[in-house]
Amino acid sequence: MPKTLAWVRNKALVGALGGIGLALQTGAVLAQASTMPDLVSRDRLRVCSDPANMPFSDKAGQGFENKIAEIVANELKRPLHYYWMPQGPGFIRNTLGADLCDVIIGYASGSGRVGHTNPYYASTYVLVTKKGGPLDGVNRLEDPRLKGRTLGVMAATPPVDHMLKLGLMTKAKIYDLLVDHRYFSPAKTAIKDVESGVTDAVILWGPIGGYYAKNASPPLTVTPLIEKTRPYFSFRISFGIRPGERDWKHQLNAVIRKRQKDINAVLKSYGVPLVPINSIAVEAPGRTAPATEDMQ
């Protein structure tokens, strides 16, 4: 019996020491992880971007995200360098994930497998119509004036489910979402369809609708859609970064705070309809982002 007790005590002691050793080892790993340097380039601003996705970005630097990237580079005193890749499946994995760049200038807060800075603007889906037409002033999908109308909408975007519930998809014209924008622009086609009368109106993500409506001839009316029911139509947009790069996040947040007025001026010049950032609830897990592409 005494021998058995000694054996038990021995095992308990070994187990305790093993537990302490494991705890120390785990603590060392965590400490190492918390002090590991991030992958961010120190000598240039490396931006992941789509080479043909106006009004957001293009290789000629004409998109509003290009202009915002210039503001960030200017503030950080670093030369601007792009890694170009069409957005779509694999975009995050093959850009940020492959350490080919350090920031995506526009990414919906709370979406995807990326880290996020503070949001630097918020926008909403809009209804684009002809000026002075019968749908002028419509700001809710529940408006009875939309019944029986031919409405354009991008496939798999947040308004689609709501339109289905309201019976607005019967005559709808649906435009492809996942395309290579180097060769085809569904948004341009959708705007031309409103101009020519193929559709009575089109529902687009605000930055897209605002830009193309402003550049139509004559300009079209852009009306932000009010969120009376779900799904949500407004989203906060931030810089997308690798998860865990806290120093980098703080640097970018500081740039946003200091240069917010300059960023807002760029957005307004491109016709981006802005809504107050604080008016939008924090994004819930699984909430559908504006582009809805599976960029993982």
Dump pLDDT digits (tens) for 148-162: 999 999 999 999 999
Where residue 231 falls among pLDDT bands split at 50, 70, 90?
Answer: low
Report the pLDDT value the prediction gives residue 290, as an integer from 0 to 100. Answer: 60
Locate all alpha helices (DSSP H) within the chain, ordered by sequence: 2-35, 64-76, 159-165, 186-196, 206-214, 246-269
Report the pLDDT value the prediction gives residue 232, as an integer from 0 to 100. Answer: 74
Where residue 273 falls among pLDDT bands split at 50, 70, 90?
Answer: very high
Residue 11: pLDDT over 60: no
Among 162-166, 226-230, 231-235, the range of highest mean pLDDT: 162-166
Q: Are strands 234-241 and 121-129 parallel, antiparallel or unpaired?
A: antiparallel
| Cβ–Cβ under 8 Å, residues 153 and 160 | yes
Say what the pTM is.
0.83
Q: Mean per-residue pLDDT for 196-224? A: 96
For residue 293, give both structure tokens. Answer: 């592409």
Higher pLDDT, 199 or 4: 199
- Residues of the chain above pLDDT 90, percent: 72
Longest dimension (CA), the chain: 98
* 63-91 tens-digit pLDDT: 999 999 999 999 999 999 999 999 888 99
